[in-house]
Amino acid sequence: MKSYHGNTMVLRALNTIKQGQQCFVNRYSLRYDAYPRAERARMLVAGGLSPCQCTACRKDWTPCSGDLPWICNGLGIEPTDFRDVVKEVIGVNIEAAKAHLPRLISLLQQCERSEPSGSALTLKKLIAHCYVIFGNKRLL
Ligand SMILES: [Zn+2]
């Protein structure tokens, strides 16, 4: 994921990178949770690029919203409070994002290998929002 700290772009890996593993950078926002594989490939080819060879494209991943009770249990909250966590992380609550981030990362590490099934996608989105908040804090 990328975030900005002033005019500096910061790239972070949200998955564990094994030694020798090829990494892909999503430069065109054609994420598997936003567009089906055929649409992503069509847009890349229309732009004069080759179809992507990342795991999500090769295996035609479809998004999964995850196991909300498992995420809530890992965060130590009731499922009815999950909406509040999302609001805090997506909003501009820096202290809440700082408090949630370590637990979100820990949960993601537990389930990253199960993506696209499981909760990895939901956790990645929440983690990305935390880092966006940190990057934008100078604007507040
Ligand atoms: Zn891809």
Ligand 1 midpoint to CA 92 (Å):
30
Asked if the model's pLDDT at residue 50 lies above 60, the reply is yes
C-alpha angle with apex 54: 40 to 128, nearest 5 degrees? 80
Domain total in the chain = 1
Query: What pTM does this model have?
Result: 0.85
Distance CA 70, CA 90 (A): 20
For 15, residues 6+ apart whose C-beta sits below 8 A from its C-beta are: 112, 115
For 136, residues 6+ apart whose C-beta sits below 8 A from its C-beta are: 4, 92
The single-letter DSSP state of residue 52 is P
Ligand 1 midpoint to CA 56 (Å):
5
Ligand 1 midpoint to CA 128 (Å):
18
For 31, residues 6+ apart whose C-beta sits below 8 A from its C-beta are: 56
Asked if the model's pLDDT at residue 124 lies above 70, the reply is yes
Instruction: Give me the domain span that covers residue 113.
Output: 2-139
